[in-house]
Structure 1
């Protein structure tokens, strides 16, 4: 079991860690046809396309680009961001509970998220636990950088004068975890069976 008693900072990814977002929450009823829905999400409104909006491209520009490529899917593509809030189902309560416990600890809390600058304000306004971060959040869409590009971690480190070796990074994406490790962060990879509080305590955190 890895012990690290020098941790001062805890950095949270948001989607898949404290927020449950999935386009299927909207499109399942929209299509009422799982095969067609999965085709659309794999080949038309795919992750790579959505990631460009997270990187800073506007939702309208991203939509128009894809409509030009796939005019037969125009209605569905326009529905994507028009119904984005319905894809943000809820928070992930067990991990938000850990975040709330950490609020009263001696650790500094930060966010590092791949999220469109246009849609992130909705989450801020509708989920009060984001206030715990006191604005110390790096958003990919604002920075025009996106994980797993190491540059976005350097933005966080430099902006808040942090050291990677004094920080633990929490994310559900294995590529992001791999990069964070290479930069010197302790990491917690969120998968379904992981208990976040237990994992943090195994790193020597006390809260």
Structure 2
């Protein structure tokens, strides 16, 4: 079946997320920020936050007080990390909306930082019919439940949906849940994928 609904991931597809920018002004160099992020295993902690844990609780697990203080301040500085839009994808999104194609979003994003992201990128609150935020739901991509939630709330069937994500394993998760999926690399490749499916 040809999809008629487009479901976007956000970070890495519509917004260029650069977490190091939360600490760059304070720490003064990218190398120092990178060392801090490696030391605390920031990707693993961030994924736990995306799953519903708070950064304060995660910071409390760290043994170095300075590291804990930095991590607990992440939410306040979060808007710095998502200032840049991926313009080519926004152009595609706006075109889909203009032609009446239903567009929704599923994002692995902390419940704490999501409002801060909307401060930096207010259009994210306006452009989607339904948005599923993992931290609010306490369920992550690529697991099936988050895709089921989108379908339930948007009133669509999985086979009607094309899901777009910059992480290949999330695209695979969408396929396992019954959706078509496109692994996002560039806006040009996305345009081609949508055109091939008759969506543009």
Q: Same fold (TM over 0.5)?
A: yes
Alignment correspondent of 1:105: 99
Alignment correspondent of 1:119: 113
Cα pair 1:100 1:129 within 8 Å, conserved: no
Q: 1:7 to 1:106 in 2, by over 3 A?
A: farther
SS in 1 for 2:112: coil
- How far residue 159 of structure 1 moved from its aligned partner, in angstroms, is 2.2
Alignment correspondent of 1:65: 61
- Residue number among 147, 154, 157 corresponding to 1:153 in the alignment: 147
The normalised TM-score by structure 2 is 0.88
Q: Which runs of 5+ in 2 are unaligned?
A: none
Cα pair 2:158 2:177 within 8 Å, conserved: yes
Within 2, Cα distance between the matches of 1:127 and 1:79?
Answer: 20
The answer to which of 136-145 and 116-125 deviates more is: 116-125
Q: 1:75 to 1:59 in 2, by over 3 A?
A: closer
Cα pair 1:170 1:187 within 8 Å, conserved: yes
- Residue number among 8, 14, 18 corresponding to 1:12 in the alignment: 8
Q: How many residues align?
A: 199
- Residue number among 81, 91, 103 corresponding to 1:87 in the alignment: 81
- How far residue 160 of structure 1 moved from its aligned partner, in angstroms, is 2.2
Within 1, Cα distance between the matches of 2:77 and 2:39?
Answer: 19
- Bigger relative contact order, structure 1 or 2, given CA contacts below 8 A and separation 6+? 1
Cα pair 2:4 2:199 within 8 Å, conserved: no
Within 1, Cα distance between the matches of 2:102 and 2:186?
Answer: 26
- Structure 1 runs (4+) deviating above 4 angstroms are none
The normalised TM-score by structure 1 is 0.85
Alignment correspondent of 2:128: 133
- Residue number among 17, 20, 25 corresponding to 1:21 in the alignment: 17
Q: Which runs of 5+ in 1 are unaligned?
A: none
Matched, 1:172 2:134: no
- Measured against aligned partners, the alpha-carbon deviations of 1:123-152 in whole angstroms (never above 9, x if no partner) come to 334434321214x10111110111112111
